[in-house]
Structure 1
Amino acid sequence: MRPRSTLLTGCTVLLTLGATACGGGEPVSAGGGDQSLSGQTVTVAGVWSGSEQENFQKVLDAFTEKTGAKTQFVSTGDNVSTVIGSKIEGGDAPDVVMVPQVGVLQQFARKGWLQPLSKEVESEVDAGYAGVWKKYGSVDDTLYGLYFKAAHKSTVWYSPQALDQAGVEPPKTYDEMLEAGRAVSDSGLAAFAVAGQDGWTLTDWFENIYLSQAGPEKYDALATHKLKWTDAGVVKALTTLGELFKDRQLIAGGSKGALNTDFPGSVEKVFGPEPQAGMVYEGDFVAGVAKDQFGRNIGEDADFFPFPGVDGNKAPVVSGGDAAVVLKDGEHRDAGMELVRYLASPEAAAVWAGEGGFLSPNRNLKPSAYGDEVTRATAVSLIEAGEAVRFDMSDQAPAAFGGTKGVGEWKLLQDFLRDPSDPRATADALESAAAKAYQD
């Protein structure tokens, strides 16, 4: 039995009854409709490339049609903090940045780079978003970031054909997931494709295990470094993760193969023309890659189950997201603020929602805006989680620890994937890196 049917609750029922809390009202328009920004060009920087950039461009094009403002998107790659800092120093600051980490947003705000969002934007946020999203977009009670694109990072994607061939159902517990993986391996495919070349995917593995094992209070404490990484709960989560990493039956290509696989490559190993694995753990955005790059029909030959609870504990709900911020040094920051106001509307979210590979934290976006049942289910699940959602831990950390290639948590978990034999030593190294980053 596939889990998506159990997720289509609450909002879909309320919509039938005509309620508006989950998106049943008329979309709230943002910005003007009178081409009032004609002649201006809003520069927007963000990490997106490929299909994500193409789909976001459709949102920007809709903004242009509405306001007359042209847009120019610049892809920063993963090192957003370094790239934007260089642009500001060089007098070439973009107007709007789509920031993928809470820690980077906080860093930008404390450096004095950001313009507080307008009262109009804040009103849209209050009307359409759970309080947790405003919290993560604020620094010292001032709203700087509008979360336009969210991620549901507690989803495990699988090939129904691979599980059927192995004679297993989508698992309900972490141990059952490993057992299912071994059955998939016995049937001729590896269990999991792991994108170890991208360190951020490894942090997501850790966070789901840790949140389930340790609980939300310790998760929050570790995320803010009020709890040290040498804590026994961290060592326990690393030990659990290490059991997966060292099992060659479970990882496509073993640790060496995983370390040479980036995120798109991990999706290709499950949903590409020559499958090598039956499952890939990552967020809902897996669906966009599977659909756009490999032509998979979401819900038919690509599906998901919730990341299962570990050791009999509750299943985790980890999220992430990209927040739109306005830079003070941007040449057209007022037009940039109007873009952010537009992004706060369900009208803007609906443009990308219909393309796939996207979730909105805006509860005023109707679930029917999503193009397939599976994406609709993940979106409703995220909205219903409300204040229980826990934001991606590495995205809350300073970028030097949780968001930069080759250093900090990304590198140390890659090292752990390469050799998972000493979880305690890895915890010690993580604490040393975290202590330095938080002090800086």
Structure 2
Amino acid sequence: MADIDLERLERERQDADRKYNDALTAFDASLIRSTATAPPSVAAGAPLPDAPRGWRGRWLQPVRRWLMPWLEAQHRFNTQVAAAFETIAAREHDRVAALERFQSALIVFLQQITAFVETKDRQMSATSVKRLDEHQDALDTLPDLRSQVAVLQRAAHMLTRRMSELGAPQPAGALAMSSGGTAAVVGAATSADDYKYVAFEDQFRGSVDDVRAKLGAYLPLFDGASNVLDVGCGRGEFLMLLRAAGVSARGIDINGEMIAAARERGLDAEVADALAYLQSQGDESVGGIFAAQVIEHLEPSYLMRLLETAFHKLRPGSPIVIETINPACWLAFFSSYLRDPTHVRPIHPETLEYLTRASGFARVSIRYSAPVADDTRMKHVDLPADILASSDPTARALVEAARVVNVNAGILNNLAFSYHDYAVIGYRS
């Protein structure tokens, strides 16, 4: 959904309010106001005057007899006109009064409808905010739901596979000797919680495609190799890269669900302990060893035995690549490392480099990867050129303060926000 421009909507609302108030003011100014009605002419309804007395009356009598019919007719006409005028004036007065009442009622209505609309607007806004909060609450639960769905899917997949295994006949030679000399069932049920860790990887380490893209940087180190062993192969991301490059490889992992996921992709993978598996291989028979995000799960004594055994099992010139979380980066330690409850001990890059070299490997180096995003790192202060060039004491003090801030930011970036991961790379001498 497109972002809502709240500032634009507010400007439009204010403009609409202004136009509404202007229109209401203009409407009020145009209202019809009643005016006083002119009184009817007094002469219009007055009776005709009497004839004068004396000789004037006698002299005017012939004239009056000739004019009286005309004067009386005019008098009657004037009286009717005056009556009609009064009737019309009364009706007009009533009409104007009714119109004034209507206009007053209309003004009251417009004022009330404004308050009504504002009330409705506030109600709708409150309802919208409430619904948005409810939707946000629902969205906030999505990560939890996704995690639960992923775990349930893995659990269902594991149960389906286990039921298929229980229904199948046991192959011959199902018993083998473990490294300790005790009998162990090959392919026996692994931890009932294995599927949870697969879902954990899906959520926090990333998808298969994400991890495969990240591990692709190590692929050139195995050019021309064969019989490569991926220790802790997980879902098979690096095995897929090796297969695509034409490099023969196999993987081992102690998590049965991880191995099941790798086998579903047609990869050569099996449940096995890393040290026990290497000890079962012939000396100088392995063409390369890769272990990503494994050693942080190991005790130091186990790690040292694993490195020594790997040295003897690798062919001369073959590479060993060990990737792990970089605890020298505080962000990586306090996020990626502490997030995983199966982590046993962090390994400093220089410590792993030393142990690898002490185990006999040559050309040992450290390669850092997954740099912390720039928007997470501390920012440097960039001053304008005119301040940098200024000799003003205040400007020089500001330049020195910025220099100190930038130096400290660089130190903190190197300590806290450098690289999430690193790998120690060595070669069998």
Say whether the fold is shared (TM-score over 0.5): no
Q: TM-score, normalised by structure 1?
A: 0.20
Q: Which has the larger radius of gyration?
A: 2
Of structures 1 and 2, the one with the larger relative CO (CA 8 A, separation 6+) is 1
